[in-house]
């Protein structure tokens, strides 16, 4: 199984020089033929998996992601490198013009600094790696705070559902309506925001279709903590990132936590309306060690272990089983409405272990091992029957190796994030 993961990563590896300007690239495309470009969060997950096989490739993938960024610190959701968006897909991408762009003008869940720290830990042969991109990482996270914390409450805003990576999640249905990711109106949503140059400030002033997304902000907080540690290790002051991370955690607890339901909700539009659909996003703050333990335990006991909610035979469903929108099987253009994805388990399982739910954590990992044994590394899996669905040879499904390696992600991730800050009071 581990060899199979390495094969997927090696098969999907792309490297060369962009023909238009000679810029070097090296990254793993998520899956051919469907996903041929470099996606931001996929690349971070690929690098995290690569570090078990070939840390040099993990480093190259993250360096390429940084190189895809602009000088002001923006890093795109998707960079096309030498494969311009194909005419059937180009209109879906958040680019400035339909053709002729080298990357999108949108973002994706910003976990780069977290991936950088994990890869740096696996790079004893190249100790300089940990600090070589500190200036760019600072710029990136400063850009996010300046451009995407639109109302100054500490939480990042996304303007399109695919900016979280959870494109068609039912949590966005009520807000985006006919402009949902899986509806024709999505083209209009892109066009509308294209006309405002994807400037989140202008968009938030005029429209209400934007979200302070829980998953995005959980990964953001984890990455800010990683960045603070990378700064400290290099002898630089990273206090500002530590403080920002605390601010994000406090804002999540204070604004998006629903005490009565024990779940976190995305906040929509200027009035921060909670989007009350239970998806794995509502559980993502479990991965924040700085949150009160009782809040985190409740997420495990009342959600992850609940047979009508997230306790499924295979993996962790992306939507609570009791939600009317829960759809475990394959549906064209829809993938986040129920199936189990590997990155969900990757985020939540180490936190379960850290809180002492070892047996349950092991059950989830074993179920994913079984699903991969049956169907290979697929984009996602049916949480009820275990069948592999969507793309084959899918890059970030190989995060499984991180969950099963003794020195792997489960252990490393917990070590990297625990003790990251004082326990906060609600």
**Interface ranges with ligand GLC (CB under 6 A):** 30, 35, 39, 41-42, 165, 167, 335
Which C-beta is closer to ligand GLC: that of 46 or that of 210?
46
Q: Are 30 and 78 in contact (CB under 8 A)?
A: no
Which C-beta is closer to ligand GLC: that of 41 or that of 143?
41
| Inter-CA distances, 35 with 29, 84, 379, Å | 6, 12, 11
> How far is residue 353's CA from residue 370's CA, in Å, rounded to a whole number?
20
- At residue 395's C-alpha, the angle toward residues 287 and 28, to 5°, is 110
CB of 418 to ligand GLC, least distance (A): 27
Which C-beta is closer to ligand GLC: that of 25 or that of 257?
25
CB of 111 to ligand GLC, least distance (A): 12
Which C-beta is closer to ligand GLC: that of 39 or that of 257?
39
Which C-beta is closer to ligand GLC: that of 223 or that of 295?
223
CB of 35 to ligand GLC, least distance (A): 5
- At residue 170's C-alpha, the angle toward residues 167 and 175, to 5°, is 90
CB of 20 to ligand GLC, least distance (A): 23
CB of 181 to ligand GLC, least distance (A): 9
Nearest to 144 by CA among 80, 206, 223, 210: 223
CB of 89 to ligand GLC, least distance (A): 10
CB of 277 to ligand GLC, least distance (A): 17
Structure tokens at 62: 């993250």
> How far is residue 13's CA from residue 280's CA, in Å, rounded to a whole number?
29
DSSP codes, 35-69: B-SEEHHHHHHHHHHHTTT-HHHHHHHHHHHHHTS
* Residue matched to tokens 């090296």: 26
Structure tokens at 83: 């494969």
Which C-beta is closer to ligand GLC: that of 40 or that of 264?
40
Which C-beta is closer to ligand GLC: that of 241 or that of 341?
341
DSSP-derived secondary structure letter, 241:
H
Which C-beta is closer to ligand GLC: that of 105 or that of 335?
335
Structure tokens at 124: 């004893």
Structure tokens at 158: 């996304």
Q: Which residues contact 146 (CB under 8 A, 6 or more apart)?
A: none
DSSP-derived secondary structure letter, 424:
P
CB of 322 to ligand GLC, least distance (A): 23
CB of 29 to ligand GLC, least distance (A): 9
Which C-beta is closer to ligand GLC: that of 107 or that of 312?
107
- At residue 376's C-alpha, the angle toward residues 86 and 215, to 5°, is 65
Which C-beta is closer to ligand GLC: that of 117 or that of 167?
167
Q: Are 377 and 383 in contact (CB under 8 A)?
A: no
> How far is residue 144's CA from residue 156's CA, in Å, rounded to a whole number?
7
| SS3 label, residue 34 | coil
CB of 391 to ligand GLC, least distance (A): 7
Q: Is residue 228 within a helix (H) or strand (E), and if so which, with residue range?
A: helix 214-233
């Amino acid at each position: 199984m581990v060899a199979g993961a390495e094969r997927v990563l090696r098969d999907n590896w792309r490297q060369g020089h962009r023909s238009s300007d000679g810029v070097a690239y090296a990254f793993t495309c998520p899956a051919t033929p469907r996903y041929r470009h470099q996606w931001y969060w996929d690349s971070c997950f690929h690098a995290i998996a690569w570090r078990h096989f070939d840390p040099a490739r993990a480093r190259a993938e993250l360096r390429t992601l940084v190189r895809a960024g602009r000088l002001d610190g923006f890093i795109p959701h998707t960079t096309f490198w030498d494969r311009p968006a194909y005419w059937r897909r180009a209109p879906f991408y958040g680019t400035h013009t339909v053709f002729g762009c080298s990357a999108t003008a949108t973002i994706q869940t910003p976990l780069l600094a977290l991936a950088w720290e994990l890869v740096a830990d696996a790079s004893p042969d190249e100790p300089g790696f940990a600090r070589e991109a500190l200036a760019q990482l600072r710029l990136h996270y400063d850009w996010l705070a300046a451009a995407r914390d639109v109302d100054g409450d500490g939480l990042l805003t996304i303007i399109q559902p695919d900016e979280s990576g959870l494109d068609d999640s039912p949590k966005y249905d009520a807000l985006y309506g006919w402009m949902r990711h899986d509806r024709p109106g999505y083209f209009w949503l892109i066009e509308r925001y294209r006309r405002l140059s994807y400037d989140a400030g202008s968009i938030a002033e005029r429209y209400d279709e934007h979200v302070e997304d829980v998953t995005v902000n959980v990964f953001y907080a984890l990455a800010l903590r990683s960045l603070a540690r990378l700064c400290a290790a290099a002898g630089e002051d990273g206090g500002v990132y530590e403080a920002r991370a605390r601010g994000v955690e406090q804002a999540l607890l204070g604004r998006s936590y629903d005490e009565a339901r024990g779940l976190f909700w995305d906040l929509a539009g200027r009035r921060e309306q909670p989007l009350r659909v239970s998806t794995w996003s509502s559980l993502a703050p479990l991965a924040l060690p700085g949150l009160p333990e009782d809040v985190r335990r409740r997420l495990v006991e009342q959600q992850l272990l609940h047979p009508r909610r997230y306790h499924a035979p295979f993996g962790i469903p992306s939507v609570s089983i009791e939600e009317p929108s829960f759809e475990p099987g394959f549906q064209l253009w829809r993938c986040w409405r129920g199936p189990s994805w590997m990155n969900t388990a990757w985020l939540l399982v180490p936190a379960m272990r850290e809180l002492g739910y070892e047996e349950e954590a092991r059950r989830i990992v074993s179920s994913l091992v079984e699903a991969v044994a049956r169907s290979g590394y697929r984009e996602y899996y049916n949480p009820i029957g275990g069948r592999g669905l969507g793309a084959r040879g899918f890059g970030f499904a190989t995060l499984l190796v991180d969950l099963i390696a003794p020195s792997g992600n489960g252990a490393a991730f917990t070590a990297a994030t625990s003790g990251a800050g004082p326990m906060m009071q609600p």
